[in-house]
Structure 1
Amino acid sequence: MSVLIDQPIWPAHNTLWGHLVSDESLDELHAFAEAAGMPRRGFDRDHYDYPAHKRDELIALGAQPVGVRELVERLQRSGLRVTQKEKRGL
């Protein structure tokens, strides 16, 4: 399993948010998120957003902590990264 988790550094809705990705497949990512009780609405094309209070639980379930740069690099190498341009449909 290669589910990666970065630090929650993005402020919104009175908390900090981080990203959860897979560098293997979106199926792996969705299965992990479902097992962790994360709602599908937290999925944003190539990652799940997670609130800071879930970090320790997600790591205990097997998510590998990495820095933001490593998370993005591994997601890009996997071919699963969706660029901002692709998100806007350009």
Structure 2
Amino acid sequence: MTLYIDPPTWPGHGRLWSHLVSDVSFEELHAFAATIGCPPRAFERDHYDIPEAHYADAVRAGAREVGSKEIVRRLTAAGLRRPKGRPAPPAQTTTALTRGTPLTPTPPPAPTTPSP
């Protein structure tokens, strides 16, 4: 599990904020955020907004300190970047395919008419 946090330099609502991200998955990010007590409402597109007062908590819990540009590089390389103004990618299914399973649904059998 590797999560990253940038310095609390982003102003908003009278505070300074950091961004917490994962370069593996949103599931990993949500799980980590829950362990440090970050509410779900703090999630925005591809990161959690972490107030300066909780920055040290995230670092103590294992988030690696990196710069803001590194946050963007890691999100982009992982395919997890969701910039403002662009729709989120469609939800990916987690259903595993087994060998021989068709990728498209098989059409239902044609209706039969009863014999006289």
TM-score range (shorter-chain normalised) is over 0.9
Q: Please name the residue that 2:73 is paired with.
A: 73
Identity of aligned residues (%): 48
State the TM-score, normalizing by the size of structure 2: 0.72
Give SS of 1:30's match: helix
Q: Please name the residue that 1:4 is paired with.
A: 4
- How far off its partner does 1:87 sit? 5.0
Q: Please name the residue that 1:46 is paired with.
A: 46
Taking the aligned partners of 1:84 and 1:18, their CA distance within structure 2 comes to 17
- How far off its partner does 1:85 sit? 2.9
Residues 51-82 of structure 1: CA distance to partner in whole angstroms, max 9, x if unpaired?
A: 00111110000000000111110110000000
Residue identity matched to 1:18: S
Gaps of 5+ in 1: none
Say which structure is richer in helix.
1
Gaps of 5+ in 2: 89-116
Structure 1: 4+ residue segments shifted above 3 A = none
CA RMSD of aligned residues (A): 1.3
Larger RCO (CA within 8 A; separation ≥ 6): 1
State the TM-score, normalizing by the size of structure 1: 0.92
